[in-house]
Structure 1
Amino acid sequence: MIEVDHLTKRYGPHPAVEDVSFRCEPGTVTGFLGPNGAGKSTTMRMICGLTPPTAGSATVGGRPYRRLPNPGREVGVLLDASAQHAGRTGREVLAVAARTMGVDTRRVAATLDLVGLNPAAARRRVRAYSLGMRQRLGLAHALLGDPRVLILDEPANGLDPEGIFWMRGLLRDFADRGGTVLLSSHLLREVEAVADRLVVIGGGRVVAQGGRDELLAGAGTLVRARDPQALRLTLDRAGLDATAGTDGGFVVRAEAGAVGQAAADAGLVLTELRSADTGGLEQLFLTLTAGSSTKESVK
């Protein structure tokens, strides 16, 4: 299990991540979504003990990552497929990791085979690997210690369609056997196909989270007004469950007629009122994260 509790990270006056909380349960794949600069990578680095939080906490299996006695045996991490020793062969990379973790080196060949790196590829230097091969090697490294948890940041980058389909099956099987997966990806259709739960982040804050089917089925009505604060108060007073986007809009779990009537009764001028459930996860993502920062410097 992964538990993130009010995580906040500031760089000077700039909040990269602000009060982020969510849980990833055993037996599930959690899709962690957001535009570039939303705070996804920063959050994952804080979970893995690579970036110290300004406030809040994150635990894996009930303990902070840095306090795990042998992290690789409990948590498989892939945050950057390029962060591998370019002069070693794929087999050597895993052999060193196996010795570090105290894993039987006989697992190296089996894990390479699991991720689709054949003996010829295993003998090649990592500098000669394509991005897709590096992703496979990084995933092999994450799986080598037979962990209970996987934390993966954009693991499908560089994979061809067949590779993406293969990865989807691998992660689904891992979760179905009781594992916990936190998966960040821009490939929304693939996330929609494999994830049980979704956490959507925009501007450093969680803008929506819940079961995939619940969020998609309950996308409801998108509404925007000239006065977003007055709209928020109106929706609250009408008892309408609404999730704020990052551009002053709201996704309301109610019919458009009920939302429009509440706004009319309050004398509000609406600038948009329409169904929010016509485009699946892609439409939900765009609705919830509209207006988010797109800066590459903080992810």
Structure 2
Amino acid sequence: MIEIEHLTRRYGTQLAVSDVTFSCPAGTVTGFLGPNGAGKSTTLRTLCGLAAPTSGSATIGGRQYRELPNPGRHVGVLLDAGAQHAGRTGGEVLTLTAKVLGVPRTRVGEMLQLVGLDGGAAGKRVGKYSLGMRQRLGLATALLGDPEVLVLDEPANGLDPEGIYWMRGLLRGFADRGGTVLLSSHLLREVEAVADRLAVIAGGRLVASGSKEELLAAAGTVVRARERVALEQALAAAGIRYDAAEDGALLAGDEPEPVGIAAARAGVPLLELRPASGAGLEELFRSLTHAGGPADAAPTTPTAQEARA
């Protein structure tokens, strides 16, 4: 179980994350979504003890990451696949990690085989790895201690379609065995395929959280008219937020009835008016984050004082 409660994190005068609250129950995959600079990485860094909250809390199993004994045995973390020793082989990276965690050496071979890096790839230096191979090695490292929780930031970055499909099955199986997965990704269709729950952040603030079914069911209304500009004006006059959808339609942030009434009052004939629950995660993401932006993003590299915090 992961609990983020009223989490706020400042970097100097910059507010990176503000009053963020959501949870990730055991046995679920939670997709953590947001535009670049929205505060996802700051939230994950705080959860994993790399930054201290300015206020609020981020806990795993009721404890802060820093309080966990041998945390790698409880939480598998992959925040940056590039943060690996380029001069060591994949096998050496896992062997050293196994010694630190105190797990049997046999786990190294098991994990290399699991992620498809056994054989010649295990003896290859990490500096010669492709990005996809580094992602696989990062996942092997995260899983090495047989944790109950996985915290992953863009784990599919660099994977080919077959690799993405493989990772989806890996994470789904982990959760189905009772594990907890918190997954940040820009690959919305992949998140939609694997996630049970969603948490969406924009401008450092949480804009939605809950089960995937609940959020997609409340995605708004798809509306289409021959006179699109007139429809846009009608929605704006009624105070209904909207965004562009596929094939010239609009995605309105309200139920079908008030959307239809706004169009009727303005004398705009409609060609389509339906709930957007079938529009998928991409439309939901756009509707929720349209007003958000990277203005409150944290610095990429914290100061030395912040890194020690």
TM-score normalised per structure 1: 0.84
Deviations 1:205-248 (A, max 9, x none): 110111111111222348964696xx79xxxxxxxxxxxxxxxx
* Alpha-carbon distance in structure 2 between the residues aligned to 1:74 and 1:226: 53
- Partner-residue secondary structure (3-state), 2:137: helix
Q: Aligned pair in 2 of structure 1 residues 215, 65: CA closer, same or farther (>3 Å)?
A: same
Partner of 1:131: 131
- C-alpha displacement at 1:276, in angstroms? 4.2
- Partner-residue secondary structure (3-state), 2:7: strand
Deviations 1:149-178 (A, max 9, x none): 000000000000000000000000000000
* Structure 2, unpaired ranges of 5+: 223-231, 242-250, 266-272, 301-309
User: What is the one-letter code of the residue matched to 1:196?
Assistant: D
Deviations 1:2-33 (A, max 9, x none): 00001111123321111001100010000000
Equivalent residues of 1:216, 1:280 under 8 A apart: yes
- C-alpha displacement at 1:277, in angstroms? 3.8
Spell out the pairing of 1:168-187 with structure 2 (5 A cutoff).
Answer: 168-187=168-187
Equivalent residues of 1:202, 1:293 under 8 A apart: yes
Partner of 2:270: none
- C-alpha displacement at 1:86, in angstroms? 0.7
Percent pairwise identity: 67
User: What is the one-letter code of the residue matched to 1:133?
Assistant: M
Greater CA deviation, 111-120 or 71-80? 111-120
- C-alpha displacement at 1:257, in angstroms? 1.8
Spell out the pairing of 1:62-77 with structure 2 (5 A cutoff).
Answer: 62-77=62-77
* Structure 1, unpaired ranges of 5+: 233-248, 266-272
- C-alpha displacement at 1:179, in angstroms? 0.2
User: What is the one-letter code of the residue matched to 1:216?
Assistant: L
Partner of 1:257: 257
Partner of 1:28: 28
Partner of 1:159: 159
User: What is the one-letter code of the residue matched to 1:21?
Assistant: T
* Alpha-carbon distance in structure 2 between the residues aligned to 1:291 and 1:25: 29
* Alpha-carbon distance in structure 1 between the residues aligned to 2:40 and 2:14: 15
Equivalent residues of 2:37, 2:293 under 8 A apart: yes
**What is the alpha-carbon root mean square deviation over aligned residues?**
2.6
Partner of 2:61: 61
* Alpha-carbon distance in structure 2 between the residues aligned to 1:205 and 1:197: 17
Deviations 1:15-59 (A, max 9, x none): 111100110001000000001000001000000000111111011
* Alpha-carbon distance in structure 1 between the residues aligned to 2:128 and 2:261: 62
Partner of 1:41: 41
TM-score normalised per structure 2: 0.82
Q: Aligned pair in 2 of structure 1 residues 5, 262: CA closer, same or farther (>3 Å)?
A: farther
User: What is the one-letter code of the residue matched to 2:115?
Assistant: V
